[in-house]
Structure 1
Amino acid sequence: MSKVSETVFKCHTKLMKERGIERESCAELEVRRANGIDSLGIVNLILDIEEELNIDMDEYLPSIRKCKTIGEIVNIIENACA
């Protein structure tokens, strides 16, 4: 597992726990309210990822907002870090 995917899963799991959702993040999880990601959740997730990886994701936000799964978010961030 790459550092990016580990970081995204860790940040997403933390976000879900903060919202009372007891589950571990994985690539197949859908980006939706039931998994802790609403409009505010996606912002919090990206801010945590930016801080953990010391990167700026502003230019990728439109693409990230269109993602259907956590795995798609990982792919965008991995490409941004390449």
Structure 2
Amino acid sequence: MNDDMELITGILFYTFWTTIFGWFLIAVITRAIVDCIMFVTSWFRSEPERNDLQTYVSDAIGYKGEFKDRVMAKALLRIAREVDLLRDKLK
């Protein structure tokens, strides 16, 4: 009788932890698949405003006109504005 209880306790114990591990493994695999799908689909969902600041700054750096300091100041102000917007989004 005592051996049967030990056997039943062992089976229940290992079944419980195997089930927990199985659900955890399914969750991790599902999350990895969803992340891969989202990553690949993000290539086809382009957001042109994301590259706008980079092109604006590179154009300001390459500017050859007489008002280069004004163009650079405007680019720096735009960078500061973007940083402030990102900081507000994080709050």
Q: TM-score of the superposition, structure 1-length normalised?
A: 0.28
Using structure 2 for the length normalisation, give the TM-score: 0.26
Larger radius of gyration: 2
Give 1 or 2: higher helix fraction: 2
